[in-house]
Amino acid sequence: MAILLAGGFAGWYYLIPNSERIVPDYDRAHPILYGGQELPFGALVDDGAVKLPLGAIAEVLGSSESLYYEEATGSIVLTTVDKVVHLKTDALTASMNQEPFELAFAAEVAEDEVYIPMTPLQELYGVRALVHEESGIVTLFAPGQSIQHAETVRSSAVRSGPTIREPVLEPLAEGAEVRIWEEEAGWYKVQGNNGYIGYVPKRDVRLTTIETVAEPERAEGFVPWEHYGERINLTWEAVYSRNPDTSKIGEMPGVNVVSPTWFELVDGSGKIRSKADSQYVAWAHKRGYHVWALFSNSFDPDLTTEALGSYESRLSMIKQLLAYTQMYNLQGINLDFENVYTKDKENLVQFVRELTPLMHEQGQVVSIDVVPKSNSEMWSLFLDREALARTVDYMMLMAYDEHWGSSPVSGSVASLPWVERSIVRLLEEDHVPPQKLVLGIPLYTRVWTEQTGADGKVEVSSRAIGMETADQILAERDLTPVLDEAAGQHYVEYEEEGATKRIWLEDGKSARARVQLVRKYDLAGIASWQRGFQKPQIWEALHQELQVRP
């Protein structure tokens, strides 16, 4: 009998709802909740003004990429596809796309966290915040987020767990409104008016409306290439000490963009040296070419570290480039940063994120040159190709120098299998959209010299030559090229003064094969290095191959 009574009491106990009231114990005065979960951050709330830590904003946006804090200067830079907002801690003046505006509350640093006022966050990203006065909880909502609303059909309670034996966080009268975040074994995970997250039996609520958090207004998307159906056919104009005599430049059928190497970094403050020439621009426009002037970091890693390392020096570079594009009536900027420390990877991405919206505002195309992926710190590993591709209009893959000038072994400048692997790696590993990827192709080759020294070791050296020089060598020595199946190119070798000479030829065959890869992977086009190395008929060969349709 006693056992039966005990069993009955136990059953009765588990059927009786727990009436205990508790208040959740948060570590922060203003805990932040998002999507039904507590984030490991707290907000600052003062007289209705809400400030959020950068970490919480990154959680809501799904990435910290558009949020940048520079501790040395107190600069905070927020970016979108069309806006760059700059704030400074403890300052009420900010700027958007270089236009100043006033904040009601300043950004600040508290307990090693950077806090940003809600107003620019809502306007820029569409993030919303709801402060629950009773509990101090701050609930965040992301743009585009769907929120299921519901109301109780009878008196109920929000409990700390999905069972009636869990204590009560908030009693609910009939008709009380809640937000539903999840469903679990006959219970809804909900949030009531006081902000607490808990559980309500499904039978106690009725689903009502679904609210979608508004997206911020965006400017009409920038269109970088208006020649629909026509691929990019760019050629770089290498300008060293002086600009070319354009009267001596022959016809280049199919070319639609020229990129003169006009701008280069001079010092760590961001000063840029210009070799721009208005006569060259006028000539290019008369021929129907767009001009995307190249800006390089002078391949100086220390200057690059300094220039990319502060908001002020990055802004200085951006302002100069904006001025030059207007002064010379350019259509774009091509970035060529090489020989860069890996530690500067993030700062290079940030520079591009700050530059691109302002360039787009002036109608300028932004492209960046990258080398094929390798383990080289200074030439490859510093490039965050995936992040860069999300921002720029085009990415030029410089698919040449497979065997560089001082290579210890002879070989092709750009064998076809190596080029194709380089393309595939960017598409598959770095998720570069094919419509943004431009294949860089060489118009030059190298004459390799292999000389056996007194010690019996083979010493290798090379010199770069253009296509016409290569043809002259073939004619003078009556050489007949053979096909190197592995490289996918024509090849010749000959003996001279006791040394073996080798040339993997760049010609119509190799040029067409590279363009066929562009078509195979549906890339944006080609970029050739450099004008002047080609023989005249190569332009027509490239153009015809680019026009082939499946």
> Hey, which residues are catalytic here?
338
Radius of gyration of the chain (CA): 32
Query: In whole angstroms, how far apart are CA 386 and each of 55, 66, 392, 399?
Result: 22, 14, 10, 17
Q: Is 173 helix (H, G, I), strand (E, B) or coil?
A: coil
The full 3-state SS of 24-75, as one line of letters, equals: CCCCCCCEEEECCEEEEEECEEECCEEEEEHHHHHHHHCCCCCEEEECCCCE
97 token code pair: 């796309």
Cis peptide bond upstream of 530, omega within 30: yes
Q: Which helix (H) or strand (E) holds 294?
A: strand 290-296
Give CA–CA dist 54/201, Å, rounded.
36
Q: Which amino acid would we find at residue 47?
A: D
Q: Which amino acid would we find at residue 239?
A: V
Give CA–CA dist 198/24, Å, rounded.
10
Give CA–CA dist 239/287, Å, rounded.
19
Give CA–CA dist 46/43, Å, rounded.
10
Nearest CA-CA partner of 124 in 167, 91, 171, 77 = 77
